[in-house]
């Protein structure tokens, strides 16, 4: 990955983050007082044109997965973003429509991704402005790869009772029965009308995952078999992350000409994962 396109954030309290202009991609986040990354980033990631970085926080826009005619997960994650501002503890990146995006999707838009760090918290604010003369619809997500020590020890709480689409199980709709989602093989689910707060624990450490403006939460881990087919993931690294994605999939957003849509995902590092339920 070309280092000249990487932005480094450092808060006065020691929190750190790194972003890449390719995809407007958050690569890394280390909370204050910690020494290890809370995000997973594949060492085989590439930031090449048309390719998405594997790990960190890919920005999915204007189409989640295969929910429309565009290439999987849309084009924002592999487009080159501009830096609007960068301060020690925050940065704002922007992507506007251009000849390349209009060739794929004939809409005028301005995307803004703002990353703020400090203490135990990372906030990612995402906004979409319709700068054209006609309304458009989109689906979107912040496809966050959370680093975990061992996937078998992971429990994700807060989804019990929710309706979800089981994408790994033929797209059937089910209702979550368990108080904690656990990972034993492929998990690929879109939880609809998700709560604003979830908790992820993996034995050693825990995280609070909040979202606002996004209506759904996608939970994904490829499991060993599907991971083996991902050329940009080292063998065994499917055990080192779980994606908890703040998303809008079930009800695409309809954005009128001149209107803006705002959403965010916030991560808070919690110490002592074993004690956290």
Ligand X SMILES: O=P(O)(O)OC[C@H]1O[C@@H](O)[C@H](O)[C@@H](O)[C@@H]1O
Using CB under 6 A as the binding rule, whether residue 244 contacts ligand X is answered as no
Using CB under 6 A as the binding rule, whether residue 169 contacts ligand X is answered as no
Nearer to ligand X by Cβ, of 52 and 148: the residue is: 52
Using CB under 6 A as the binding rule, whether residue 143 contacts ligand X is answered as yes
Residue number with the smallest Cβ distance to ligand X: 220
Least distance between ligand X and beta carbon 254 (Å): 22
Q: Which of 57, 65, 76, 255 binds ligand X (CB under 6 A)?
A: 65
Residue 245 annotated among the catalytic residues of the structure: yes
Least distance between ligand X and beta carbon 124 (Å): 16
Query: Taking contact as CB under 6 A, which single stretch among the options 11-19, 65-73, 117-125, 200-208 is the one that binds ligand X?
Result: 65-73
Residue in 20, 22, 67, 245 annotated catalytic? 245
Task: Say how many residues touch ligand X, by CB under 6 A.
Answer: 10
Least distance between ligand X and beta carbon 230 (Å): 6
Using CB under 6 A as the binding rule, whether residue 72 contacts ligand X is answered as yes
DSSP codes joined into one string, 228-275: TT-TTS-TTGGGGEEEEEEEEEEEEEEE-TT-EEEEEEEEEEES-GGG
**For residue 65, what are the CA distances in angstroms to 58, 59, 82, 146, 208?**
12, 12, 24, 19, 25
**For residue 54, what are the CA distances in angstroms to 41, 65, 180?**
6, 15, 26
Integer Cα distance of 83 and 62 in angstroms: 20
**Residues 256-275 contacting ligand X, CB under 6 A:** none
DSSP codes joined into one string, 107-151: --EEEEEEEEEETTEEEEEEEEEE-SSS-EEEEEEE--EEE-S-G
Least distance between ligand X and beta carbon 226 (Å): 7
Mark residue 55 as left, alpha or beta (left: phi above 0; alpha: psi -120 to 50; beta: remaining).
Answer: left
Which residues of the chain form contacts with ligand X (CB under 6 A)? 52, 65, 72-73, 143, 167, 188, 218, 220, 245
Catalytic residue IDs: 143, 245
């Amino acid at each position: 990955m070309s280092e000249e396109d990487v932005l480094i954030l450092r808060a006065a309290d020691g929190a750190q983050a790194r972003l890449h202009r390719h995809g407007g991609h958050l690569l890394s986040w280390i909370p204050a007082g910690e020494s290890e990354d809370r995000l997973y980033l594949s060492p085989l990631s590439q930031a090449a044109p048309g390719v998405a970085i594997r790990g960190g926080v890919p920005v999915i826009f204007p189409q989640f997965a295969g929910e429309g005619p565009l290439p999987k997960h849309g084009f924002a994650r592999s487009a080159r973003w501009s830096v609007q501002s960068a301060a020690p503890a925050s940065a704002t990146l922007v992507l506007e429509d251009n000849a390349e995006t209009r060739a794929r999707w004939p809409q005028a838009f301005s995307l803004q991704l703002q990353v703020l760090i400090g203490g135990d918290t990372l906030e990612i604010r995402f906004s979409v402005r319709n700068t054209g003369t006609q309304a458009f619809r989109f689906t979107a997500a912040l496809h966050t790869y959370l680093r975990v020590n061992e996937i078998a020890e992971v429990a994700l709480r807060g989804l019990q009772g929710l309706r979800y689409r089981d994408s790994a199980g033929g797209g059937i709709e089910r209702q979550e029965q368990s108080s904690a989602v656990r990972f034993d093989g492929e998990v690929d689910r879109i939880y609809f009308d998700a709560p604003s707060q979830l908790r992820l624990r993996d034995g050693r450490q825990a995280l609070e995952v909040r979202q606002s403006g996004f209506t759904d939460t996608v939970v994904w881990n490829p499991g060993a078999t599907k991971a083996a087919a991902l050329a940009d993931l080292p063998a065994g690294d499917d055990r080192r992350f779980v994606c908890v994605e703040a998303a809008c999939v079930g009800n695409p957003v309809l954005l009128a000409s001149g209107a803006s849509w705002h959403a965010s995902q916030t991560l808070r590092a919690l110490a002592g994962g074993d004690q956290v339920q």
